[in-house]
Structure 1
Amino acid sequence: MEPIIQEPEGPEPEATRRDAGITESARANRGWWDRNADEYQVEHGTFLGDDRFVWCPEGLDEVEAELLGPPEELKDRAVLELGAGAAQCSRWLAAQGARPVALDISHRQLQHALRIGGAFPLVCADAGVLPFANGSFDLACSAYGALPFVADPRLVLREVHRVLRPGGRFVFSVTHPIRWAFPDEPGPEGLSVSGSYFDRTPYVEEDEQGRAVYVEHHRTLGDRVRDVAASGFRLVDLVEPQWPEWNSSEWGGWSPLRGRLIPGTAIFVCVRD
Structure 2
Amino acid sequence: MIENEGAGADEAEATRRAAGDAESSRASRGWWDRNADEYQREHGGFLGDDRFVWGPEGLDEADARLLGPAGSLAGRDVLEIGCGAAQCSRWLAGQGARPVALDLSHRQLQHALRIGTGFPLVEADATALPFADGSFDLACSAYGAVPFVADPVRLMREVHRVLRPGGRWVFSVTHPLRWAFPDEPGPEGLSVAASYFDRTPYVEQDETGRAVYVEHHRTLGDRVRDVVAAGFRLTDLVEPEWPAWNTQEWGGWSPLRGHLIPGTAIFVCERDGR
Is the pair's TM-score, using the shorter chain for normalization, greater than 0.5? yes
Secondary structure of the corresponding residue to residue 71 of structure 1: coil
Q: 1:151, CA displacement in angstroms? A: 0.3
Partner Cα distance (1:85, 1:49) in 2: 12
- 1:128 matched to which residue of 2? 127
How has the CA–CA distance of structure 1 residues 93 and 201 changed in structure 2, closer, same or farther, with 3 Å as cutoff?
A: same
Partner Cα distance (2:202, 2:86) in 1: 26
User: Where does structure 1 lack aligned partners over 5 or more consecutive residues?
Assistant: 1-8
Q: Is the 8 A contact 2:232 2:271 kept in 1?
A: yes
The answer on 1:174 being equivalent to 2:173 is yes
Aligned positions of 1:77-116 closer than 5 A = 77-116=76-115
Q: 1:208, CA displacement in angstroms? A: 1.0
Whichever residue aligns with residue 88 of structure 1, its letter is: Q
- TM-score, with length taken from structure 2: 0.96
- 1:119 matched to which residue of 2? 118
- 1:13 matched to which residue of 2? 12
Q: Is the 8 A contact 2:203 2:213 kept in 1?
A: yes
Whichever residue aligns with residue 26 of structure 1, its letter is: S
Secondary structure of the corresponding residue to residue 195 of structure 2: coil
Partner Cα distance (1:38, 1:112) in 2: 8
CA offsets, 1:150-205, max 9 Å, x none?
Answer: 00000110000000000000000000000000000000000000000000000000
Aligned Cα RMSD in Å?
1.0
- 1:211 matched to which residue of 2? 210
- Which stretch has the larger CA shift, 100-109 or 11-20? 11-20
Whichever residue aligns with residue 24 of structure 2, its letter is: S
- 1:189 matched to which residue of 2? 188
Partner Cα distance (1:135, 1:84) in 2: 20
CA offsets, 1:134-157, max 9 Å, x none?
Answer: 000000000000000000000110
Q: 1:10, CA displacement in angstroms? A: 7.3
Secondary structure of the corresponding residue to residue 79 of structure 1: strand
Partner Cα distance (1:247, 1:269) in 2: 24
- Which stretch has the larger CA shift, 70-79 or 180-189? 70-79
Partner Cα distance (2:63, 2:74) in 1: 17
Whichever residue aligns with residue 46 of structure 1, its letter is: G
Equivalent residue pairs, number: 265
Runs of 4+ in structure 1 displaced over 4 angstroms? none
Partner Cα distance (2:61, 2:249) in 1: 21
- 2:147 matched to which residue of 1? 148
User: Where does structure 2 lack aligned partners over 5 or more consecutive residues?
Assistant: 1-7
Q: 1:95, CA displacement in angstroms? A: 0.4
Secondary structure of the corresponding residue to residue 56 of structure 1: coil
- TM-score, with length taken from structure 1: 0.96
Q: 1:11, CA displacement in angstroms? A: 4.8
Partner Cα distance (2:137, 2:250) in 1: 34
- 2:160 matched to which residue of 1? 161
Secondary structure of the corresponding residue to residue 71 of structure 2: helix
- 2:230 matched to which residue of 1? 231
Q: 1:118, CA displacement in angstroms? A: 1.5
Secondary structure of the corresponding residue to residue 79 of structure 2: strand
